[in-house]
Amino acid sequence: MMINFPPGLLMLLGGGLIPFLPNSIRQIWMIVILILSATSIFVDHGTHLLFETMNYSFIFWRSDALTMPFAIVFHIAAALNIFYGWHEEDWKQHTSSFTYAGAAIGALHAGDLLTLFLFWELTVVTSVFLILASNTPQAIKASFRYLLTQFTSGALLIAGTAYYISVTGDASFGKLSLDNPGAWFIFFAFGIKAAFPLLNGWLQDSYPEATVIGTVALSAFTTKLAIYALARSFAGTEYLIYIGVVMTAFPVFFAVIENDLRRVLSYSLNNQLGFMVVGIGVGTEIAVNGAVAHAFVHIIYKSLLFMSMGAVLYRVGTIKASELGGLYRYMPITAVCCIIGAMSISAFPLFSGFVAKSLIMVGVVEHGYIFIYLMLLFASAGVLEHSGIKIPYFAFFGHDKGIKTKEAPLGMLVAMIVAAFLCLLIGFVPSLLFSLLPYTVDYHVYTPSHVIGQLQLLIFAILAFIFLIRFNLYPPEIPSTVLNFDWIYRKLLLNIIKRLIIALNVVWSSLSSLTLSVVNIIISIIEKNSVTSGNAAVKVGKSTVLILFSLGFILICNYLLF
Amino acid sequence: MKNNELKIMGTRFTYLIIIICILLFIGEFVFHRHGETIIEDYLFFPAIFGFIAFIFIVFAGVLLRKIVMRKEDYYDD
C-alpha cells in the first residue's frame, strides 16, 4: 500500500496533523504512522520512487544495504521518543520531534543530491523547535546559532551540489571524488553536521539547551545522518581517519570538566562520532561495517543516556553535577538503565558498544594504522571516564545532596527499559546486528584474548578512578562555563566586529568633520572674495558651496577611477 | 545517614573492583592473551594503558580548566 509513498514523507505529513489531535490520541496516531513508515524497511532494495521534472530525476526512495540499518535504527529511535514523551502535553514538541525523525528518514532514502538537500534542510527547520520549546533566553539564542550553523551546512551542500552537477553532469548521491571542488563543499557540509573538530561548537551549544524530550530526539538523527552521508560518499577518504581520531580524543578532556551532564553527553556524542568517522575513513568492508554498527548501537545507548539524564532533569529540575547526587534511592530503575547505557558506551563485554567498536578497531589494525589504534584505545578510556563513570556517579551516587524526588513517569521508564534491553540483546547476540550490516561479517567478537584485554583496560581504568576519589585527587565539579569552539563566533568574532564598527565610526566622524571644515573654509574664502551687489541678491549661500563641493568631489573621483 | 550508605556502597564497589582486578591478573597468565597489535601482547599492557590513560585524562582536564573555564554567566553579559 505504502509502496508509492516515500518513508520519511509519510511521517512528515502525518506529523502535520499532530497539532489538531487531542492529547489522548496523539501518541497512538504517531505510533500508527510510524508503523506504516516502518513497512518501508521490508521493501526490496532498489530505486522505488522517481519524480522527473525539467530533465532532472528526484529520487525520493532508494534503499540498499547501507540505508537499511540506518532506517531500522531511525525508526527505533522515533519509537523510543514517542514513548519517552508520553507524559508531555506540548503538541509543539511532539510535532517537531516526529517530523524531524521523518525528515531524517527521508534524507536517508534520497537517491540524488538535490533530494538529499531538500530533506537535509527539513531536518533543521523541524528540529529547531525542540530547542526553542525550552523557552529560556539561553535556548532561544542557542536555537538561532543552531539555525545559523545548520543552514551554513545546507548552503555548502547546495553550492557543492550545483558545482558538482555542472562539472560531472551526475547528480546521484553516491561515491564522490574530492578531485572535484564541489565535492569539498559537500564534504564540509557533511562535516558540520558530523561535528568535525572546529565545526563542532553547535552541538555542545544547542543540544543541552533543548527540552527534556528534545535532546533525546536531537541526539539520534542529525549527526548520524551525516555519518550515513559520509559513509555513502566519502568511504575510504584518508583525511577522515585523522579528523576522526581528533574527534575521539579532544572532547574527552572537555567532558571531564563540564558540569552540565547533558553537555557532558554532547561531548561524548562527539567522541563517539569520531570512532565512526575513523571507520569510514579506513573504508574497508569491516571498518565500514564497524562504523555502521557503531552508529546503530550508539543511537540506542546514547538515547538511553540522554533519556536517563532527561528523567533526572524532569524530576529534579537541574542537571548540573555540582547540584546532584544520591538519586539512586528515588530513581532506581532510571539508575539501572543509565548504568546499562554507560556500560554499553564504555564497551564492556556483553554490552552493545563492545560488539560495534571491535569491528572498527580491527579494521584500523588490519589497515596498519597502529598509532591510530592506540589513540582509539586511549579515547576508549576517555569514554569510560565521562560517560561510563561520571554520568551515573554524579547523578545517582556521589555525595547525597538531600534531594527528595520520585521515579520517572511510566512512559519514560518504558522507553529506557526497551533501550536498555536492546543494548543487552545486541551485546549477547551480536549476530542480530551483524546480519543487518552492509557487508558480510566474518568476525568473532567473544574470544578470551579480546574479552580479557578489554576488561583489563576498563577495570584498571575504574581502579584509577577509585584511586583518585579515595585520595581526593578527582577534581570537584564546579558551576562554570567551559569554552568550546563556538567561542570563536560567540565572543571572538563578535568582539572583532564590535571593534570594527567603533573604528569605522571614528573614521567616519573624523572624515565628515574634516569635510565640513574644508567646506567652511571654502565658504569663508568665497564670501571674502565675492562681489556684493547693492541689494545683496547674488550672495553665495552655503548650499551652493556644498553642491559645488560635491560635484567637484565626483569629478575628482571620476578622474581617478576611469 | 544517607551519605553513610553511599560510603558503604563505595567500599563494597571498591572491593568488587579489586577482586576483578585480581581475577584479571590471574587470567593474564592462564589464557595467554593476544592483542590486535604486537605491543598489546606485553604483559598487562591494556591494564597499565587503561590506568595511566585515565589518570592522564583527568589531570589534563584539570589543566584545561585553567584555560577554558569561565564564570557560569560568561555568555550572558
Please report, for chain B, the start and end positions of each structural domain, with discontinuous segments joined by +.
Answer: 2-69
User: Residue B76's pLDDT band (boundaries 50, 70, 90)?
Assistant: confident
Residue in B17, B31, B75 nearest the CB of A490: B75
Contacting A residues, span 228-267, partner chain B, CB-CB under 8 Å: 252-254, 256-257
Contacting A residues, span 104-143, partner chain B, CB-CB under 8 Å: 137-138
Contact B57 A326 (CB under 8 A): no
Query: Within a 10 A sphere around the Cβ of A444, how many other Cβ atoms?
Result: 9
Q: What is the mean pLDDT of residues A357-381?
A: 90
- The cell for A298 is 550508539
Rounded to whole angstroms, how far apart are CA atoms A283 and A459?
31
Set of chain A residues whose Cβ sits within 8 Å of the Cβ of B19: none
pLDDT value of residue A379: 93
* Interior/surface letters A249-275, b for 16+ CB within 10 angstroms, e for the rest: bbbbbbbbbbbbbbbbbbbbbbbbbbb
Q: Which uninterrupted H or E stretch holds A67?
A: helix A67-84
Q: How many CA atoms lie within 13 A of A401 on its CB side?
A: 17
Contact A460 B10 (CB under 8 A): no
Rounded to whole angstroms, how far apart are CA atoms A520 and A522?
5
Q: What is the mean pLDDT of residues A328-354?
A: 94
Q: A289-340: per-residue pLDDT in tens?
A: 999 999 999 999 999 999 999 999 999 988 999 889 889 989 999 999 999 9
B43 touches chain A (CB under 8 A): no
pLDDT value of residue A296: 96
Contact A303/A216 with Cβ under 8 angstroms?
yes
Contact B70 A481 (CB under 8 A): yes
Q: A62-71: per-residue pLDDT in tens?
A: 888 999 999 9
Inter-chain contacts counted by CB atoms under 8 A, chains A and B: 162
Contact A8/A108 with Cβ under 8 angstroms?
yes
**Domain layout of chain A by residue ranges:** 1-232, 235-485, 490-528+539-561
Least Cα separation, residue B72 to chain A (angstroms): 4
Q: A186-199: per-residue pLDDT in tens?
A: 999 999 999 999 99
Residue A3 has pLDDT above 60, yes or no: no
- The cell for A315 is 524530576
Query: Within a 10 A sphere around the Cβ of A494, how many other Cβ atoms?
Result: 12
Residue in B24, B58, B71 nearest the CB of A256: B58
Rounded to whole angstroms, how far apart are CA atoms A487 and A473?
29
Set of chain A residues whose Cβ sits within 8 Å of the Cβ of B75: 138, 481, 490-491
Taking CA atoms, A24 is separated from A17, A20, A368, A398, in Å, by 14, 12, 57, 39
Rounded to whole angstroms, how far apart are CA atoms A433 and A280?
18
Of the listed ranges A234-248, A405-419, A503-517, A540-554, the least confidently predicted one is A540-554
Contact A381 B49 (CB under 8 A): yes
Q: A446-477: per-residue pLDDT in tens?
A: 888 889 999 999 999 999 999 999 898 888 88
* β-strand pairing of A46-53 with A56-63: antiparallel
Residue A437 has pLDDT above 60, yes or no: yes
- The cell for B22 is 585480581
Rounded to whole angstroms, how far apart are CA atoms B38 and B29?
17
Q: Per-residue DSSP letters for A487-499?
A: HIIIIIHHHHHHH
Residue in A253, A378, A459 nearest the CB of B20: A459
Rounded to whole angstroms, how far apart are CA atoms A315 and A310?
9
Which residue's entry shows cell 565658504?
A: A523
Contact A459 B47 (CB under 8 A): yes
Set of chain A residues whose Cβ sits within 8 Å of the Cβ of B34: 449
Higher pLDDT, B70 or A306: A306
B44 touches chain A (CB under 8 A): yes
Set of chain B residues whose Cβ sits within 8 Å of the Cβ of A252: 57
Contact A383/A346 with Cβ under 8 angstroms?
yes
Residue A1 has pLDDT above 50, yes or no: no
B36 touches chain A (CB under 8 A): yes
Closest chain A residue to B38, measured at CA: A370
A362 touches chain B (CB under 8 A): yes
B23 touches chain A (CB under 8 A): no
ipTM for the complex shown: 0.93
Cα angle vertex A302, ends A299, A307, to 5°? 115
Residue A213 has pLDDT above 60, yes or no: yes
Contact A458 B50 (CB under 8 A): yes
- The cell for A280 is 569510514
